[in-house]
Structure 1
Amino acid sequence: MTGHKIITIGREFGSGGHEIGQKLADRLGIPLYDNRLVSMAAEELGVKTEDAERVDESSLNTFVTGYTVTPGMYTEFINAASYIPSFDTEVYRKQAEIIKSLAEKGPCVIVGRCADYVLKDRDDCINVFICADKADRKKRIMELYGLNERKAADRIRKTDKERRYYYEVHTGQDWGSIRSHQMLFNVSMLGIDRIVEILAMMYNA
């Protein structure tokens, strides 16, 4: 074991997961990879970034958002490979290749993109999932995007549904579950700075 050098962060929308990733990367002096992975994948695939963005962490976006999908239905969709558009799969696979390459090159923080699953065979990877109470998430989204309470709640539901579906389709694991992640952190209980401090301590241990 070479020591923990890669930290992957899954997150609920509005939980502050991206901010945690950015603060952690800045504190440790290592790169942060988030939506940059989309443009990197698009460049290697020879497609427009905006086309890749349409399927980034929102696999089957148009299909899913048109239906009410219950947790029990995810397994059925995961097993039905024909539902997954080939372009979605192509972008995911290319991002996975890039994530593995970046992990080989050196320490980094990776936000989203199923990075915890992609790097599951590495023993130098810490993977965490960031959550927060619904009220705090709603308040954060209202402030960040200038939305009213109803629109913020709708955006949270939609984005969480997309992220869950994307993760579970590509990994076959439960999004946000302790069975799928090494650690879960609740921002409402610990705060962003405290979580950054804990992860930095683990990284340096």
Structure 2
Amino acid sequence: MKTITVSREFGSGGRELGKRLADVLGVAYYDKEIISKIAENLKLDEQYIENHLERDFTVNFPYTFRCSFSTPFYAMNQVVDMLVEQHKIIRTLAKREDCVIVGRGADAVLHDMGPYNIFVYADMAAKKERCRNRASPGETLSERELERRIRQIDKARAASYDLVSGYPWGDKRAYHLCVNTTGLDIPQIVPHLAAFVKIWFERKDHGDSII
């Protein structure tokens, strides 16, 4: 099976890029669907799960699912249960069909299965602009509040990624391609990314050395 993972900074357009890439390649797309499946399997509320998996927690030391949390024991147990379930779901999806998986540390979770890993980022001004353009009508965050929110979410994603990867979140060594979307039109660049991904998998299927 061919799997493409998309890690992304908040506001960089990574989710849109991942969905459009899946459409162009004609493969399945998974993002929020993973949260829904975790909720179904653990009999928990989707929003509750998303809040816990996205929140900023402190990793005290690395481990192979790899950490101990400076949080109450019950909360820690629940977070670990969610992460273990997420891990299982991601691997099941990748074994079942060709797909694009956005976020969730999927590149690290699937490392032994040889996915193609993309990291999407942008400068702060571009991320704030994209967030403004996609905000709900009633959202009234100041520039400072919006930037704080972006940094908090990215910090949480980095901490979560540290649980499953030997590389820091965003480290180029963990990815095959890093895409800076600042000033770029995502619909325009996706066909070129799709062509690049196809070439990569063709070389891999033919046994060529893939770095």
Q: TM-score range by the shorter chain?
A: 0.7 to 0.9
TM-score (norm 2): 0.80
Match of 1:14 in 2: 11
List 4+ stretches of structure 1 deviating above 4 A.
Answer: none
> Unpaired runs of 5+ in structure 1?
65-73
Kindly tell me: are residues 111 and 171 of structure 1, through their superposed partners in 2, closer, same or farther at Cα, counting changes over 3 Å? Answer: same
Quote the Cα distance in structure 2 between the aligned partners of 1:191 and 1:48: 35
Q: How does 1:21-170 map to 2 (within 5 A)?
A: 21-58=18-55, 61=56, 63=57, 76-78=60-62, 81-83=68-70, 85-123=76-114, 125-145=115-135, 146=139, 147-170=141-164
Q: CA deviation at 1:158?
A: 1.0
Quote the Cα distance in structure 1 between the aligned partners of 2:20 and 2:161: 24
Kindly tell me: are residues 172 and 81 of structure 1, through their superposed partners in 2, closer, same or farther at Cα, counting changes over 3 Å? Answer: farther
- The C-alpha deviation readout for 1:68-125, integer Å capped at 9, x for no partner, is xxxxxx6x443652536121111111111111111111111100000000110013x1
> Unpaired runs of 5+ in structure 2?
200-211
What is the alpha-carbon root mean square deviation over aligned residues? Answer: 2.1
Is the deviation greater in 166-175 or in 9-18?
166-175
Is the deviation greater in 158-167 or in 82-91?
82-91
Q: CA deviation at 1:195?
A: 3.9
- The C-alpha deviation readout for 1:141-180, integer Å capped at 9, x for no partner, is 1222244322221111111111111111332420001122
Classify the secondary structure of the residue corresponding to 1:109. Answer: strand
Quote the Cα distance in structure 1 between the aligned partners of 2:54 and 2:160: 5
- The C-alpha deviation readout for 1:5-25, integer Å capped at 9, x for no partner, is 211000001000001011111
Quote the Cα distance in structure 2 between the aligned partners of 1:153 and 1:106: 37
Kindly tell me: are residues 168 and 195 of structure 1, through their superposed partners in 2, closer, same or farther at Cα, counting changes over 3 Å? Answer: farther
The number of equivalent residue pairs is 188
TM-score (norm 1): 0.83
Higher relative contact order (CA 8 A, sep 6+): 1
Kindly tell me: are residues 162 and 37 of structure 1, through their superposed partners in 2, closer, same or farther at Cα, counting changes over 3 Å? Answer: same
